[in-house]
Amino acid sequence: MAKTQKGWRVDDEIAELATARARDRGMSVGDYIAALVREDADGLRQRGLDAARRFLDEHQSVFDEAEDAVRPSPGAHAA
């Protein structure tokens, strides 16, 4: 596949983050950005977010109960 060189301006923080994430995934920054664009165009990211939302909607009470179990009761005193 032929490649085209493009130049976009982004904040330094975004450039550093993109570089770090690409390195974490063993990719060049160009390949990382291409993968993000493909995921977005294919709707993969949105499907993942939708699945996460459905999971939380269905199981939020389990997380709430676990949080309540480790949170000290109001008025409890440390020993």
Residue 41: inside a domain: yes
pLDDT by residue (tens digit) across 21-63?
A: 999 999 999 999 999 999 888 888 888 899 999 999 999 999 8
Distance CA 74, CA 68 (A): 11
Answer whether residue 5 is part of any domain.
no
Residue 76 inside a domain? The answer is: no
Q: What is the pLDDT of residue 2?
A: 86
pTM: 0.55
Q: Are 22 and 29 in contact (CB under 8 A)?
A: yes
So what's the pLDDT on residue 76? 60
Q: How many domains does the chain have?
A: 1
Contact assessment for residue 45 and residue 38, using Cβ atoms and an 8 Å cutoff: no
- Structural domain range at position 64: 12-70
Residue 3, SS3 per DSSP: coil
Would you say residue 63 lies in a domain? yes
**13, pLDDT greater than 70:** yes
Does some domain include residue 79?
Answer: no
